[in-house]
Structure 1
Amino acid sequence: MIFLYLKMNKFFLITLFLISFSGFAQIEVRNGLFLYDEVFVESDDFQSDYLEELEKSLSVIPIDSVLRLQVLNDLGYYYHTRNLKIALGYIEMGLEEARDKNESYWEGKLLVSQGAILLRMEQLDLAEKALTDAISKIPENESWLLYTNLGYVYERKGILGEAFVYASKTLEIGEKYGDTKAVAMAYSDMSNLFWKQGKFDAALSYGLKSLEIFEKRGLKDLDYDFTFHLVGQYMVDLDRPKEAIVYFTKSVEIGERYGFYNNLSDTYIAMANLQAKMGEFSEAQISGLKALRYAELLENEFMIMRSYMSLGKVGNASKDFAKAADYLETSILEATENFGDKFYLSLVYEELSKAYEGQGNFQKSLVASRKSDELRRDVFTAEADKQVAQLQTEMDVAQKENTIMLQEAKLSRQRILQVFYLTLAGVLIIILFLLFRVFLRKKKYSTLLEKKNEEKEFLLKEIHHRVKNNLETISSLLTLQIAKIGDPKFKQIMEDTYTRVQSMGMIHLSLYKEGNLKKVEMKEFFNGLGRFVFDTFDASDRIRFEANMPPIELDVDVAIPIGLIVNELISNSLKYAFPNQKSGQICVQLLEKEGNLYLKVSDDGIGIMEDSTIKGTGFGRELISLLTRQLDGKMTLVNDEGAAFSFEFQLNTAA
């Protein structure tokens, strides 16, 4: 109970109690005190009229009462499970009143609630600011909810390592002050972060540990409900669908009882995905529409976006690709340009690529697939994975050492009067033993890391080798096919394709041979590419090739598109710039200057005439244009004693 003494005369107090509070279950007046029964603290009696009764109480709680600030905070925080805009309105009202009263503590509490609501409204930067502003105003023993929501902000931004740091901070505070809710929340959040990394076994272990603590606490609240949803999702990914249904059903039961629209939308999305996977497409469609209905009631753009994504996945699974594409395109529109959660956005583009492929639109499918890969690379960085793994190890080691130290302290207290010196000697031995074990563990861990790094390098080298071999196989198949083609135009198309595949294969050959698994030395690559293309066109004896440039190394993601551009331009020069067996020269130059890359491919042939007939299919020009845009570059053509193509790429953007 929260008690607040009101300075009012006895007659007015009794009248107020009899007239105003007789119908309010959460707030009463007894002996001159306001009694407020906080929900999910002393009970989980969160009935359908709970928020309505709290709203009514605002009209009779004195404006100068601190209890009014708590009621406004609770209204805002618990309304955010039903309607985000109404919730934000109450919090902003509370913040204004708290600042007028110079109530720093309640200003901090309201800022935490504001951050939680802004987070769910996809205003991640504003949410982060509200939460960081609250840090100095909230006492440490109550700050776990603040750090939990800061972790959510970084999770939604795709910075998983930082998100894990804040989940660890929540756990540390919970264990320090014996707050079981904080501990349960920390394990729930950690399980979600492991799931996003694809570590489903670890996710399930932490999720079940969280549920166990929630159940001992005995209150069915919003976060307990959401953890049921999370564990159900982990069961799905571990291919345990029957168990997943049990957890999803429990989550829906709690969500519908208390009106947790956000959790209901989440769980129906997961159920739609599972039902589609099991071939129950009608049921999956119904679940997806339920998820969308709850998301729209909540006015939560993130949940609306994910609901449309789930409907799109159902469409793909049932091979209704046109409907799937419509849902997924709507999902992207709902996300807007400033959408913060790159993880879920990457999943939408992945499904959209499948929908386009199912419709036979392979170009759109490729663009969507590349967008998905780009977003995933932003989220699943090696640094984030290493940070999470290190924090997990440190946390596990700290907990184990904590347990050992507590056991040793208890043993020491039992024997201290009888064998003081012996106990002291034993403690010293144990400390030395622990230090030795820590040393061995660190040494073992360091050796394991070195071994894993060597294994990763070997696997990456093997991948480049296999990609090179596969591309050579494709080249061989193309060569066999070209030999059987009679149509000159079609044969030319196949030969162009052959040179493009061979160009990519040479990149992976370079990576494999040189031992640098990430970068390609471009001068040597251009010389090799020139020899190959010249041999293909039988032009080595009349056309001279020159790579007039210093050695320069580029990441493979940049080297491949630049290699394809140069391949296209050299091939075009050999086809059209030197008619009638004319002799000449083709030059390639690539330089890095002030953070930019400058590429120039030129020949001293007949040039490109403005009134000349366009030759070829045009695919080569389209490919060059697409690759230039991919590297955020621009192209310039100069006709002067031949043709010269110049490109400028921003190196940081390209990389």
Structure 2
Amino acid sequence: MKKVFFLAYFFTSFGLIAQIQKVGGSFQYEEVFIDTDDFQSDYLEKMEGSLAELKSPSELRLQIINDLGYYYHTRNLTKALLIIEGGLNEARDMGNSYWEGRMMVSQGAILLRMEELDHAQSVLTAAIENIPEKESWLLYTNLGYVYERKGMLGEAFSYASKVLEIGEKYNDPKSIAMAYSDMSNLFWKQRKFEMALTFGLKSLDLFEKRGLRDLDYDFTLHLVGQFYVDLNEPLKALSYFKKSVEFGERYGFYNNLSDSYIALVNLQTDLGEYSEAISSGMEALRYAELLDNEFMIMRSYLALGKVSNASGEYSKAVGYLESSLANIKPNFGDKFQLGMVYEELSKAHENLGEFKQALASSKMSDKLRQEVFTKEAEDKIALLQTEMEVAQKENTIKLQQVELSKTRELQLFYLALAIVAIVFLGLLYIVYLRKEKYSKLLEKRNQEKEYLLKEIHHRVKNNLETISSLLSLQIATIESPEFKQIMEETYSRVQSMGMIHLSLYKKGNLKKVEMKQFFEELGGFIVDTFDAESRIDFKTEMEPISLDIDVAIPIGLIVNELISNSLKYAFPQNSAGRITVSLEEKDASLLLNVSDDGIGMMANSFSKGTGFGRELIGLLTRQLDGKMTLVNESGTAFSFEFVLNKAA
């Protein structure tokens, strides 16, 4: 952990106070939310006690003043500003430009939250020259907030992009997480909720990997909860709000607590829980008033006005919304929030029949919205987003190149070791090389054979497709029904064989065919050929089983004939039904079953048609040393048993 050490002579007596401990002859400070988060909400009071003991000028004292002032802005802005201004004077008296810059960043953050936007911008800009680039992410984050509050979303996004660039350059997960969090908030303000959620979750992932529950992690939890509210996922939203409130109460983050309760108002309002929403709004207002933050007070009254509108209490809504407007300064910069106040005020006046006031509020809301959501800002954000994504891809490529370079260096190292081994092993290594050469030659030949076999299957598949195409063209010109049926059956058989070769070529296994998938594809093809998809339910009731091609092709042709036969004869007058195929291995045999629930063998007879199909099935069954059984009950079922060693 990073710790700051100072010699004991700075202190006359000092025990264990807050995060400062005496170790041997020196003192060490564990930075809050940097080195540790293992403390409770009284950590600021303990730090104040520590500061009272640190009377001599030192960097440790300046560091504690800065942390104390910065984190006090989560509870009382006026006190926080006084602490930082005192620290700023001390840093200047010591001539310490680094801590002067750090104090100015904290001062800017506080002024921003006190609605002194121009003053905050001036202070933050002046601090740039005193802060090392590696640590400048907090400065640019707050400059982005200034522009966000001024309604200049494009400029705000450019600062978030700069923070991301700094984080990636120095591999700092905290600054990257902050950049993603700020980008998510800006996307949300543009009502791009899906994009906002994507960036918010990326931010939370980085915060959680960092392992410290700090102010910004807490705020991002609140943001993601709000995104889920707008995406109509209230249960997910509630879980994030609960986490945010839990951490806010533990560490006394009044600003985040006010934010989270405002978001809860929106959620509870959407769910119709109006009394709970009012209670949440009052909690938000309580924390905002403790914080003495006019912006949060203004937003709390806005939330109360929204829930009052939703519950039909329009007079109360007007009162809350006018209180919201009363808590802003003349130069209030956040046109987004101000526009929302006037939008709700317009609704309340309209429902009270006060149409003149409603119209005036509506016009003001539209004017403010147009000033915030300009096409220029949207285009700038889109451009910056594209540039950011390109930069991330380029960075990924660079990292891959570095890894590749390391891999090559490692390969060269192993090559050098191999050369040394050659020198020491001599003849033994030569024998090894010969064996290796023979092995590679054998592997190469196997690969060539495999390639040739794959090419054969590919060409057979192509030739069968050509034959199928020729048959299809020929069928279209045949007028004789009997001859046309013969050609269609031939076309189906060619397609069946072609499917097997296609399966071998595509799946990479050049010797075996997975029969369950093959039957499903074959059955689907034949049913489609007969234009029977809507009335015939084709099923394969079997587990996956792979067969050699010498077995797969005959079985495939048998199944092709039987499915075609069922479709032609088992379901007259386009009646509906089911055809089922199964294949299993049992006791050194292959058991094939093809059945339908059609009209049965009395009508579904092999005597119909050309008779070639019956002869083909018999020939193929004998080829596999099998036997066929016909069951003519509740349809027709053909069962085959093939001796496995002959079939294989």
Give TM class, smaller chain. Answer: 0.5 to 0.7
Q: Distance in 2 between matches of 1:371 and 1:161?
A: 22
Match of 1:133 in 2: 126
Amino acid at match of 2:337: Y
Task: Report % sequence identity.
Answer: 65
8 A Cα contact 2:4 2:30, kept in partner: no
Q: Indicate whether 1:154 and 2:147 are aligned.
A: yes
Q: Indicate whether 1:396 and 2:389 are aligned.
A: yes
Match of 1:209 in 2: 202
Q: Distance in 2 between matches of 1:184 and 1:403?
A: 18
Match of 2:415 in 1: none
The Cα shift of 1:67 comes to 1.1
8 A Cα contact 2:18 2:50, kept in partner: no
Match of 1:5 in 2: 6
The Cα shift of 1:7 comes to 7.4
Q: Work out which of the residue numbers 165, 179, 199 in structure 1 matches 2:192.
A: 199
Could you say what secondary structure the match of 1:35 adopts?
Answer: strand
The Cα shift of 1:4 comes to 3.8
Amino acid at match of 2:147: Y
Could you say what secondary structure the match of 2:266 adopts?
Answer: helix
| CA deviation vs aligned residue, 1:101-126 (integer Å, no higher than 9, x gap) | 11100000000000111111111011
8 A Cα contact 2:314 2:351, kept in partner: yes
Query: Given the superposition, is the C-alpha separation of residues 326 and 104 from structure 1 closer, same or farther in structure 2, using an over 3 Å criterion?
Result: same
Q: Indicate whether 1:361 and 2:354 are aligned.
A: yes
Could you say what secondary structure the match of 2:119 adopts?
Answer: helix
Q: Distance in 1 between matches of 2:84 and 2:411?
A: 61
Amino acid at match of 1:143: S
The Cα shift of 1:51 comes to 1.1
The Cα shift of 1:239 comes to 1.1
Q: Distance in 1 between matches of 2:230 and 2:307?
A: 17
Alignment of 1:334-413 (within 5 A): 334-413=327-406
Could you say what secondary structure the match of 1:58 adopts?
Answer: helix
Alignment of 1:150-549 (within 5 A): 150-415=143-408
8 A Cα contact 2:228 2:237, kept in partner: yes
Match of 1:33 in 2: 26
Amino acid at match of 2:6: Y
The Cα shift of 1:242 comes to 1.3
Query: Given the superposition, is the C-alpha separation of residues 325 and 409 from structure 1 closer, same or farther in structure 2, using an over 3 Å criterion?
Result: same
8 A Cα contact 1:301 1:334, kept in partner: yes
Match of 2:42 in 1: 49
Q: Indicate whether 1:97 and 2:98 are aligned.
A: no
Give the RMSD, CA atoms, in angstroms. 1.7
Match of 1:82 in 2: 75
Match of 1:571 in 2: none
Q: Distance in 2 between matches of 1:147 and 1:46?
A: 29
| CA deviation vs aligned residue, 1:518-553 (integer Å, no higher than 9, x gap) | xxxxxxxxxxxxxxxxxxxxxxxxxxxxxxxxxxxx
Match of 1:70 in 2: 63
Q: Distance in 2 between matches of 1:392 and 1:317?
A: 36
8 A Cα contact 1:191 1:207, kept in partner: yes
* Ranges in structure 1 where 5+ consecutive residues have no aligned partner: 420-655
8 A Cα contact 2:213 2:247, kept in partner: yes
Amino acid at match of 1:2: K
The Cα shift of 1:361 comes to 0.5
8 A Cα contact 2:301 2:323, kept in partner: yes
8 A Cα contact 1:288 1:308, kept in partner: yes
* Ranges in structure 2 where 5+ consecutive residues have no aligned partner: 413-648
Amino acid at match of 2:48: E
Could you say what secondary structure the match of 2:38 adopts?
Answer: coil
Q: Distance in 2 between matches of 1:66 and 1:395?
A: 37
Q: Distance in 1 between matches of 2:146 and 2:289?
A: 22
Amino acid at match of 1:224: Y
Give me the TM-score of the superposition, normalised by structure 2: 0.62
Q: Distance in 2 between matches of 1:222 and 1:126?
A: 24
Q: Distance in 1 between matches of 2:403 and 2:48?
A: 52
Q: Distance in 2 between matches of 1:348 and 1:335?
A: 11
Q: Distance in 2 between matches of 1:91 and 1:124?
A: 17
Query: Given the superposition, is the C-alpha separation of residues 143 and 418 from structure 1 closer, same or farther in structure 2, using an over 3 Å criterion?
Result: closer
Could you say what secondary structure the match of 2:27 adopts?
Answer: strand
Match of 2:574 in 1: none
The Cα shift of 1:416 comes to 6.8
8 A Cα contact 2:62 2:91, kept in partner: yes
Match of 2:52 in 1: 59
The Cα shift of 1:79 comes to 0.6
Q: Distance in 2 between matches of 1:411 and 1:41?
A: 34
8 A Cα contact 1:265 1:303, kept in partner: yes
8 A Cα contact 1:3 1:33, kept in partner: no
The Cα shift of 1:30 comes to 2.9
| CA deviation vs aligned residue, 1:47-89 (integer Å, no higher than 9, x gap) | 1221111112222213322211111101101111111111111
8 A Cα contact 2:8 2:26, kept in partner: no
The Cα shift of 1:413 comes to 4.3
Q: Distance in 2 between matches of 1:410 and 1:52?
A: 49
